[in-house]
Chains A and B, each alone.
Chain A
Amino acid sequence: MSTSTSLNTEFVKGLWKENPVLASLLGLCPTLAVTNAAMNGLAMGLATTFVLLMSSMMISALRNFIPHQVRIAGYIVIIATFVTVADRFLAAFLPEISATLGPYIPLIVVNCLILGRQEAFSSRNGIGRSLIDSLGMGLGFIFVLVVLGIIREILGSGSIFGFAVMGDWFTPWMVMILPPGAFLTLGLLIALANWYNDPSSLSEIRIKQ
């Protein structure tokens, strides 16, 4: 509705300032679960972005057609449809990735990033703007997943995208491919991002006497 915001702003905001993971803390379940390897993070990010774009397009097109009271039910059906399309696509054309990501693809349905964007943006804006917004958010999501995946893969397996980068001297940190490692790394990343955006916020930490 705010035509004063340029398309460029709508796109760029998803990359950093309103990054779905680092700023809005959305979609943390898949973020934590599949980033034990960079390739898995990338594949999940791409699948999520596909679902985000397609459902944004459809929901934006139908926004004046779906009654307000049944909007969530409608959005979920539409999102679930595209998730299933993505899941079957992987099973048919990329069976190895499908086997690796297995249970996490269907979980894209409940990724609050997607439902969040539909509710906050696509249901209130035209198709073009909605696509731009979704593209920015999707890329921001992929960015975080790949960075997280690379960090966890280097420390947890000594490789990046399957290519060994650490020599024999390195003993992999098992914790990095396990959930605790995911939480630790994500927490540090979010802290770093927030500190980068607002360095003064660090001084606001007060210790109760």
Chain B
Amino acid sequence: MSKLSLPARMILVLTLITVMSGGILAGWDIYTKPKVAYHREQALKKAIGEVLPAHDSYEVRETDAGTLYIGKRDSIEQPIGIAFMAIGSGFQGQLRIMVGLNPDLTQLTGIKVLEQIETPGLGTKIVIDPSNKENVYWFPDQFKGIQTSPEIVVVKNAKPSTNYEVQGITGATISSIAVANILNAQIATVQSILETSQKVEG
């Protein structure tokens, strides 16, 4: 070691350290990947169960607008609801929201924020608000029954007056509006896809 020049030693040591680091991380990633994927899958299934009205099963349909989860009840031929992921930017990072709607996409049946990295205690209220004594899920629960047209609107400092308005979170306006924007965008995309496919089928 001491026979090598200083630059050579610096390069050699740093290379060895980074190779070792890469090896440890690659191995650990292989080990943890299935478990992380499993948790994501479980969270997805649970979310579909929560945002759709009572159903016995759901059909997974891939479309140009992403994956649709179509809820069905055994006794009824028509679907009872459609759920899909709406993804977009929140205040600090990506928001991944599972949203459920009625079959003609005019009304929401529920939302669930699956992944977010919003400000703890503020933006995280889009998921759960422990400071609210009546209902810690007041924010997502608002979306049940909300109309999708003209579009979902967030109101501040006032109570919602129409059936397409929801109350924003005090101190987390951007997070609240981001949820509405992401939902509006994805709902519009899915609506246009379904209209197109219905036209094609005649």
Contact = CB atoms under 8 A, between A and B. Distances in A.
Interface of A: 33-34, 36, 40, 62, 65-67, 69-70, 73-74, 77-78, 80-81, 84-85, 88-89, 91-93, 95, 99-100, 102-103, 156-157, 159, 168, 172, 174, 177-178
Contacts of B1: 65
A77 B171 CA distance: 37
Given A74-B14, A81-B25, A92-B39, 4 more contacts: A70-B10, A103-B92, A174-B171, A178-B171
B60 interface: no
A159 B130 contact: yes
7 contacts: A36-B121, A67-B6, A74-B13, A77-B17, A88-B29, A92-B35, A177-B120
Contacts of B31: 92
A91 B6 contact: no
B21 interface: yes
Contacts of A177: 120-121, 131
B18 interface: yes
Given A81-B24, A88-B28, A92-B35, A100 B14 contact: no
Nearest to B93: A103
A93 B38 CA distance: 11
Nearest to B21: A81
Given A40-B120, A67-B9, A78 B39 contact: no
A70 B25 contact: no
Interface string B118-141: 001110000000110100000000
A34 B120 contact: yes
B151 interface: no
